[in-house]
Amino acid sequence: MRSRGHGTLPLYIGGFLGPFGGGVLAVLVPQLRDAFAASTGTVAAGIPVYFVPFAVLQLVSGTLGERFGRRRVVRSGYLAYAAFSVLAGVAPGAGAFLVARALQGAANAFLSPLLLAGLADEVPPAQIGRAVGTFAAVQTAAVALSPLCGGALGALDWRLAFLVPAVVALGLAFLPPADAGHARPWRGCGR
């Protein structure tokens, strides 16, 4: 069986990126506290500062995706996520870092829901349940793996925990999902 578009792998990788970016900070707090000469509370605020804009902007991201085209909005979201990840990685202080984290979360709001919609277009109707379950499992894996990966990258340099996802997001910008209505309809049952 052949899928439409680029396939599901870029959608799953994109689904991994958002929760990973949200959770990677947990193990980096001591390093960031020292790097920014800030309190633990200030640095740890980078977690909710990421997730609040992410949650709020999901209320409009689907509408904007439909209005301006899913492909364009997701590509822009990836480019913004990459830019704000770099900004977090080179932030000179805690204030700039927290602003970068908020902008990362805002950019991710335009990724996860639209990737899920793209996934629904990418797979045959009979496989949507399995594909959505896999997407959810990938996002859960990202939450579970973000401390491990963040710690490993942080052992080299804490900036890598933000710069590596920036490179991934930049690559994914070249593989956005198709716009709604541009996918070929599946023919036959179970194909």
pLDDT one-digit tens code per residue, 12-29: 999 999 899 999 999 999
CA-closest candidate to residue 120, choices 188, 175, 183: 183
Report if residue 64 sits inside a domain: yes
Which CATH number is 121's domain given? 1.20.1250.20
119 part of a folded domain: yes
The pTM is what? 0.88
Mean per-residue pLDDT, 154-158: 94
Residue 83 within any structural domain of the chain: yes
Whether 160 is covered by a domain: the verdict is yes
Mean pLDDT, residues 155-172 taken together:
96
| C-beta neighbour count of 189 within 10 angstroms | 8
Residue 186 lies in a domain: no
Q: Which residue segment(s) compose the domain that 163 sits in?
A: 9-172
pLDDT in the model for residue 54: 94
Stretch among 4-18, 32-46, 77-91, 135-149 having the lowest mean pLDDT:
4-18
Asked whether residue 179 is assigned to any structural domain, the reply reads no
What pLDDT is recorded for position 185?
47
Number of domains comprising the chain: 1
Looking at the domain assignment, is residue 3 inside a domain?
Answer: no
What mean pLDDT value characterizes the chain? 89
Is residue 136 in a domain? yes
CB 164 within 8 A of CB 153: yes
